Structure 1
Amino acid sequence: MFASHDGLCGIGELAERAGVSVKTVRFYSDNGLLPEASRSAGGHRRYGPDSLERLRLIRSLRTMDLPVSAVRRVLAEQDATGDAGRALEDAVAVRLRALGSHLTALRWREAALRSVQECPVAERPARLRLIGGVTAPPSTAPLARFWRAWLPPRMPARSVTAFLEAAVPRPPEDPEPSQVLAFAGLSALVSRPCGGREATQPRAHEAASPRASAVLYAGLAQAYDLAGREMRLNREPYPGEALDGFVDAYASALGTADTPDFRRGLARQLAADPRIDRYWELAAELAGGPAEPTPGTAHDWLLAALTARSEAAPRAHDG
């Protein structure tokens, strides 16, 4: 309670008690956050006994860097229900996400600067141009667009989503300079035609219907997973369950049988298809730590197994 005869106080006293400037109190009042109880005969603002506690709450919320719009929502819920819990929880969550994004951006900028600083002086201009194309925090949207253009048209959305989850690497929140460089390389790679060739899609996509595409990529995902298990055990490419699933994915999509002749033709076709090995190399570098199998390295493992098997198998007209 204020000591005045009417229980109200002026803007100067309120500001002094709250430890803020008069200008701050005026700002909050003008923005509707701190209502005035009345005006004096001379037109001076007068505030009620609840204003001090309200002003302290506003100051605390603003100290957490909450925007005025969020503070207004918190105060409105408190005025309506007597408890600002839900609105405050939402506002804090939004602010935490924003701060997390900001901190990630700062870490990426720091790692990018270290990448430039640590490379030979003669290479710095080129490296600066390369990493200058990466936003902070980095966006994977260009990588997703690249794969959407690569994948067959009219492919079912669920299959596209599943493939993108495997093919588009997640940038780390606290990267090393080498990871910033790898992501910058990926961004540069997907911004131009793969290998400088106009046709970048595998021939296996050309005749595939939407349903066949779904069958193909679902089968390939299973085959890549099986091959990945073999690769983690450091096993050389060999015929087995993974290769059978790999071949069956193509045979099912094309509506044909898995025969020795089909395998030989498939091996030749896949060997001649456009390759994006550099993409998978950079994706592995971005992942950091022990190299994990990627769809690209699993594909190479399976193709090596298919090629070796096809070359060893007798042709249909051989004795």
Structure 2
Amino acid sequence: MVGVMDDNRLYAIGEVARRTGLSVSAIRFYSDEGVVPPVEVTAGGHRLYDVHAIARLEFVSTLRELDAGLEDIRRLLAGGLTLTELATAHLSRLDDQVRRIRSRQAVLRTIARQHTEAEQVVLLHKLAGMSDEDRDRLMDDFWSEISEGLQVSPDFLGLMRNGPLVLPDEPSAEQLEAWIELADLLRNADFRREVREALRETFSGPGAAMMTSSKMVAAFERGGVIMGRAQEAQRAGTPADSPLGREIADAYTAYLGEIAETPDSPAFREKLAADVLDIERLHLESLEEYKTSTDPYTRYQSLVAIIDGSARQAAEFMPFAWLSAALKASVSP
């Protein structure tokens, strides 16, 4: 066991090594680099260290184990850099390394899962490392091609596209893998053709013009705001039969009453409460369908939901049951 150290004593390099756990060669290296020089060198060339030098060696060793650079450590010990500045700069470098490692993991998982051909490996690596601007350009090209000639309002087209697609600063492996798959699909001419044909078929039937009009988009957005309030209330643990629950139920009833041209009544609220639970059931079924569907546009939506995090949010915080309870509670005075 290493004993208590004497502040007034000088220690030979072998004993310093035993006390710090560093090798003799490592201690010599730090001495030769001027990071932690010995306090004294004897006539016979033996290096001696006091307790302060030993403490500095342990500090340097800890920083090196945290992968801090030798030059940064030298600047820190010389007073040219604070410990906070060193930690911040090194953390930034480590974050970059983590992002690169996650990207490589996603590429390798994709290669293993898809039995990727050798010539595709370079492409997959490039797709994983795309910038936000590159992703925007790829998405713009995709939507310009598949929406050409589509008889829907610009507002509805924007709703379908769902804004810019941005990976978070620290994407999960699932998000990176979803992006690689999506980017590969967006570049695929057959996939673009299939999505374009699916959208033509969906929005060419009777009633499509009305359902995709700017007026209907505005109605969708109003409904989304109400559902967002219900979601926030549920997250906060607000009871469905609270005053806030009543307020949200009133807003939802007025919103659907305007669309359906149906006056408010206890019977209408009871029906809406039941309908909301049906929406929840259909929503859960659609989430399962996303995982296995071969429909090109459904797969596109599924991958986008994974990348932007809405798939996780939808699974964790669906407010349908809460809203249904609020509607039922609002029937009573």
TM tier relative to shorter chain: 0.3 to 0.5
Higher helix share: 2
Per the normalisation by structure 2, the TM-score is 0.44
- TM superposition score normalised by structure 1: 0.45
